[in-house]
Amino acid sequence: MPIPADSRPDDVVWPQAEWPPPHELVGDHVTLSQFVPADAPDLYAALDHDACWDHVAGRPTSPEEYAATLAQAPQSGRWPWVVRRASEVVGTTSYLEVSLPDARLEIGSTAYSPSVWATEVNPECKLLLMSWAFDHGFGRVQLKTDIRNRRSQAAIAKLGAAYEGVLRRYQRRQDGTVRDTVMFSVTAEEWPGVRERLRARLAR
């Protein structure tokens, strides 16, 4: 295998990333608010579909269990958001793997009600979350998905994220099997083009 070349030979000192994010991010179509336990019943109902959990581990068995899980999430490095379209709860997404020293984070643990699949919801959620990250000093946003989740891979690629490869035997699925994980990312250098692509897509 050839040794890769340095893609940024003229790198400069990168500023420190800022944290934490605000309680709410507001777009034209969706609003993201940081999870509070009162959100659990509506979120549980929105995601109470087998299709929402095909490739995501941790399906809750009750709103109370879901509330407890998400309330504890920041202790394990996950900051969950509740996604609303108008006033209706339609899903959740999270900041994960936040590394302030390295100015990088991940967007993941994303699940939406099937009623909003292939709508403006996902691209605007990603636009809001990536905009905040890159505007506050992060240089890399990564996104991962199950190698079997072709729909998710296509959606991430459509955002304009770069495919980076496959992490083999990386993470356990809900059914106990261990998945290969497909890695994508957007860097600060790529972000202006990705942002304009998302804005144009939403404008259509």
Per-residue pLDDT tens for 24-63? 999 999 999 999 999 999 999 999 999 999 888 899 999 9
Whole-number Cα distances in Å, 66 to 7, 25, 160, 167, 170: 42, 22, 32, 28, 24
Measured on CA atoms in the order 78, 15, 196, 33, is the torsion positive or negative?
positive
> How far apart are the two ends of the chain, measured CA to CA in Å?
43
User: What pLDDT, in 10s, does the model give residues 176-192?
Assistant: 899 999 999 999 999 99
- Collapsing DSSP to helix, strand or coil, 114 comes out as helix
* Dist CA 161 CA 140 (whole Å): 11
Q: Where are the domains of the chain?
A: 24-203
Angle subtended at Cα 56 by Cα 53 and Cα 62, rounded to the nearest 5 degrees: 55
User: What pLDDT, in 10s, does the model give residues 129-154?
Assistant: 999 999 999 999 999 999 999 999 99
Alpha helical stretches, state H, the chain: 40-46, 63-72, 121-135, 150-159, 191-203
Mean pLDDT of 117-122: 96
* Dist CA 15 CA 155 (whole Å): 31
DSSP bridge partners of 31? 26, 84
Of 19 and 7, the structure prediction assigns the larger pLDDT to 19
* Dist CA 74 CA 47 (whole Å): 21
| pLDDT for the residue 175 | 87
| pLDDT for the residue 84 | 98
User: What pLDDT, in 10s, does the model give residues 12-21?
Assistant: 999 999 999 9
Q: What is the pTM of this model?
A: 0.96
The torsion defined by the Cα of 53, 56, 61 and 64, in degrees rounded to 10, comes to: -120
How high does pLDDT run on average in the chain?
A: 96
User: What pLDDT, in 10s, does the model give residues 84-102?
Assistant: 999 999 999 999 999 999 9
Cβ proximity of 121 and 193 under 8 Å: no
Mean pLDDT of 62-91: 97
DSSP E strands: which ranges in the chain? Answer: 24-26, 30-34, 79-85, 88-99, 104-112, 140-146, 162-172, 178-187
CATH H-level superfamily of 24-203: Gcn5-related N-acetyltransferase (GNAT) (3.40.630.30)
